[in-house]
Amino acid sequence: MSEGTSFESQGSTKERILSAAMRLIAERGVGGLRIRELAREAGLREGSIYNHFPGREAIVQALFAKLESGLSPLGTILDLDTAAEATLVALATELRTRGLAGFFRATGGAYVEGLVRAPGSLQLLRAVLAARFSDPAARRAYEEVFYPDSMKVFTSMFAIASKAGLLVAGARPEILAELAVAAIAHALSRYHGDADSARSGPLLVELLETLGGLAGSVRPS
């Protein structure tokens, strides 16, 4: 596994499987993940893989779910229904202080920093985004993990901004969230052949900052 990834094995068989899957997807794409090769890469019998996962789709989803939480600036997926009140108050304060453009510039920057700390994560994200229209495992990872989790985070952020009176009139948090998620997917896919986030990272930050600036009704003093 690439140095710095967040899936280093800590001894459990399940983590060994996910680490090996991460390596294979980074090298061969989602379509290159096969149970036989995965078992060989993890140093396990094929039966051991199925003891923990029913198939490759479940492996990709588990890997992607772990990745998404690890890249969140909060260390978890933000959800208005479950977030602690202190977290929501802190986010509202940040929004008022930075303004939407500054807030989303910082949010995008934190996301990119997570990718820099875990180089293999970028390859995994790109592999899933690239294959989501052709590979069932990638499509499920996108539709059941990346998209709903990302929508939940950004809808929550824009809803907090709306409650604080920081959105332009008529702006709907869920539509702004759709634009933010599309911006992330585009930025991560734009320079697919790059080995790191040197170009996609700044693009991601600029797209989110621009969206925040367009959606914001007020600017920080």
Q: Where in the chain is the domain with CATH 1.10.10.60?
A: 13-59
Going from the C-alpha of 43 to that of each of 35, 48, 55, the distances in angstroms are: 12, 10, 17
Residue 168 confidence class, pLDDT cut points 50, 70, 90: very high
Enter the pTM of the model. Answer: 0.81
User: Quick one: which of 90, 210, 209, 64 has its CA closest to 149?
Assistant: 64
The confidence score (pLDDT) of residue 116 equals 82
What is the structure's pLDDT at 75? 57
Q: What is the pLDDT of residues 17-28, one digit of tens each?
A: 988 998 888 888
pLDDT digits (tens, 9 = 90+) for 46-100: 888 998 999 888 898 888 777 776 666 555 667 788 888 888 898 899 999 999 9
Identify the CATH class of 62-215: mainly alpha
Q: Is 19 helix (H, G, I), strand (E, B) or coil?
A: helix
Domain 13-59 in CATH 1.10.10.60? The answer is yes
In which residue ranges of the chain is CATH 1.10.357 found?
A: 62-215
Whether the CB-CB separation of 124 and 67 falls below 8 Å is answered with yes
SS3 218: coil
Percent of the chain surpassing pLDDT 90: 33
The number of beta carbons lying within 10 Å of the beta carbon of residue 208 is 26
